Structure 1
Amino acid sequence: GLLEAKSIVSAGTALLTQEDLVDRIRLYNPSATAQFLARFDRCELEMYLQHLIATSVPRGRGARWERPNETPAITFRIADDDA
């Protein structure tokens, strides 16, 4: 079920290096540059990759993503001029 799929994704991302996480993220979101993603820590990159994987599933009953409790619903970052 959904919980099993979430644990498989979590286990899969736990084995990746930070560089691998960035590479996988860029497969799902090519507009995210490696320079931009370098601003985030490993935990943030893992959560973002899990979100991208979850949102790549066709919509329907099984397509869900639950925002982690420690993550606010709305966030923002101010981009540097050189980004």
Structure 2
Amino acid sequence: MLRTIGLALLAVSGSIVAAPVALPAVVVTVAGYAAVAGGVLSAVSQITVDTSTSSVQAQEDNLRNKKDEVKPETDVG
């Protein structure tokens, strides 16, 4: 959620800063600050992702898949 907000801030502020029309200096300055805030918000939300539960889930899935594998018979005759 916060990552999406940060990316939206970056997109909007980038559009304002790169606008081909002349905008007041205050608007461009605020857009620059919004770009920094959006970048920081996106970076912090990426760093603070908890991966411990997903790695446990992946290990459980691997164990389940190994149990479901079909083993060839060694004694055919």
- After TM superposition, the score normalised by the length of structure 1 is 0.27
More helix by share: 2
- After TM superposition, the score normalised by the length of structure 2 is 0.29
Higher relative contact order (CA 8 A, sep 6+): 2
Max Rg structure? 2
